[in-house]
Amino acid sequence: MKDRLLTLARAARAWLLPAWSIREEGSAAAGSAFAVCRTQFGRMQVLERWATLHTAALQLQALRGQVPAAAPAVDAARIARALDPRAPEESARSPEARVYRGDRAREVLQNESFAWAFETTKSEIYESWQQTLAANAAERERLWLALQMLDRVQGHLMQRLETGKLAALELRHREKVAQQQKAWLD
């Protein structure tokens, strides 16, 4: 009787208290996204989706400090490997994930604070370069490398944005083909 009451108490506690977990959405072949989910009152709700397991695991780790964890949908050892800083990124290659990452890049590129930061940093590098002595080749080289890295960051963001746009076109095309197939079958 006591064991049954404990089991019922645990079940009631699990039903009432929020618990966090990571669920993989999609298949490994098609690419997947990793959703941080909250389960409470018998319902699972997706809090946020992440393109990499590492990022989702970091978010889950922060949330677990606040509330108990649910039964993991993604293997705990896999999450632990993703948290290792030396581990390669396990990314989602689905079109939906590429659109999501493209949208985040667009937000950065269109944010006036980031645009101001990029332009201010570029102008500071140019001014420093102009003020260096011709004999100070090491300093000029360092400034040139800094400028190249800044351009590289902007290039990566632009590439991510363009990839997201192409993925959105791919999704629209898939929808159109599915609608045409449905119309043909009806």
Phi and psi angles of residue 47, each rounded to the nearest 5 degrees, phi first: -85, -50
Burial of 78 (0-12, 13-18, 19+ CB in 10 A): middle
Q: Does residue 67 contact residue 8 with C-beta atoms inside 8 Å? A: no
**Which pTM does this prediction carry?**
0.49
Kindly write down the DSSP assignment for every residue of 62-76, as one continuous string.
HHHTTS-B---SS-H
Averaged pLDDT of the chain = 76
Q: How confident is the model at residue 120 (pLDDT cuts 50, 70, 90)?
A: very high
Bridge-based pairing of strands 19-27 and 31-40 is antiparallel
Q: DSSP assignment, residue 91?
A: B
Neighbouring residues of 114: CB distance < 8 A, sequence distance ≥ 6: 108
Residues 123-169: tens digit of each pLDDT: 999 899 889 888 888 998 999 999 999 999 898 889 888 888 888 88
- What angle, rounded to 10 degrees, do the helices at 137-185 and 95-110 form? 130
Beta strands in the chain (DSSP E): 19-27, 31-40, 43-50
Q: What is the largest CA-CA distance in the chain?
A: 87
The total number of residues shown for the chain amounts to: 186
